[in-house]
Each structure stands twice: as C-alpha cells, then as structure tokens.
Amino acid sequence: MPIATGGYGFSDVSLSYGFGAQRRASGTIRVQAGQFYDGTIRSITIGPGSTFSSARIAVMQRLAVEPTFSITRVERPNSSFTTRLARARVDYGFTPLMFASGLVQWNSADRAFSTNLRFRWEYAPGSEVFLVYTDERDIRDDRYATPTTVRGLKNRALVVKFSRMFRY
C-alpha cells in the first residue's frame, strides 16, 4: 500500500550494547523501536556497532569473520512486513601488502543472494592490482513469481584494476 504524501515526524528509541574491540570476538547488539511514516518500526541487529565499526571474530591471526544479522518489522494501518538481512565478510591477510576478502549477503526483501570477492596486491610502493568479482542472484520461490519476475542471475561482473605509480 502506498504511503500518502505529506509531512511525517519520526521518533524512535534505540538501545545498544557493544562488546570491546580488544576481545577476540567484538560487536554490538542493537534494538530499535519507533515511528515509520503512518506506522511503527521495530528492529534488532547483531553485528556492526555503527558505520565505522563492525562485529569481528578473529579466527586466526590473519583470518577474521565479520557477521551481521538483522530483523526489521514494519507495521502500517493496512499492511505489515518483516525483512531479514544476513551478511558475512571474511578477510584474509597474506602479507601486509596482499589480502583477499569476501562478502556474502542474503536479503529477504529483495529475495537476493549476492557475493563480492576482492583481491588486492601492492606489488610496489603506491602501485596496486585489484581483482573484484561480483555476483547477485534472485532466489525467489517460483510459487510467488509473476510473469515479469526476473529469476536467477541478476548481475555479474569481473573487474581488474592495475595502477602504477611513477616517480620523477
């Protein structure tokens, strides 16, 4: 159901608890409740504390996992929905100048599963090679598909970036 035009005031309250970054496993649990246009919103997120920090589990000295899970419930006068987001980032540092990372994400609202794999190598000071692979798939259940529903592969890209710093 569409949201009527006009002005809306939003007020909400959130409570979070952060686990110290100095620990082997760190992160934040956040609960939020408040107004959402002409309805309400409630959510719980386990993972990142803010845009600048993340939940992190140091598996080994060079290997870390950053998981996130979020559930959001929106209730409006004539409709309601729940979205779920699960994400995991894996980082591995081969050396201080070479690393690989992977991000996998599932989003229930889009019914999409996406991956992003990245490799970075600084082969000389200021000179780098990046390899990035991205893939996004629609995992919608065929029982709920319409004739215009796009299923399967939605997006795929392989990017190679090479930079060289020249010193004069």
Residue 120 pLDDT exceeds 90? yes
Tokens of 155: 């997006």
Query: What single-letter DSSP state applies at residue 2?
Result: P
Tokens of 46: 């386990």
pLDDT digits (tens, 9 = 90+) for 55-64: 667 777 888 8
Domain boundaries, the chain: 55-163
pLDDT at position 107, please?
87
pLDDT at position 62, please?
87
List, in order, residues 6 or more apart from 23 with CB less than 8 Å away. Answer: none
Residue 51 pLDDT exceeds 60? no
Biggest CA pair distance of the chain:
67
Give me the mean pLDDT over the 120-134 stretch: 94
For the chain, give the number of residues: 168
Dist. CA 111–CA 148, nearest whole Å:
15
DSSP 3-state percent helix, strand, coil across the chain (nearest 5): 0, 65, 30
Q: With a threshold of 0.85, does the pTM exceed it?
A: no
pLDDT at position 133, please?
96
In degrees and rounded to multiples of 5, residue 27 shows phi and psi of 155, -165
Give me the mean pLDDT over the 7-27 stretch: 77
pLDDT at position 145, please?
55
Give me the mean pLDDT over the 76-97 stretch: 90
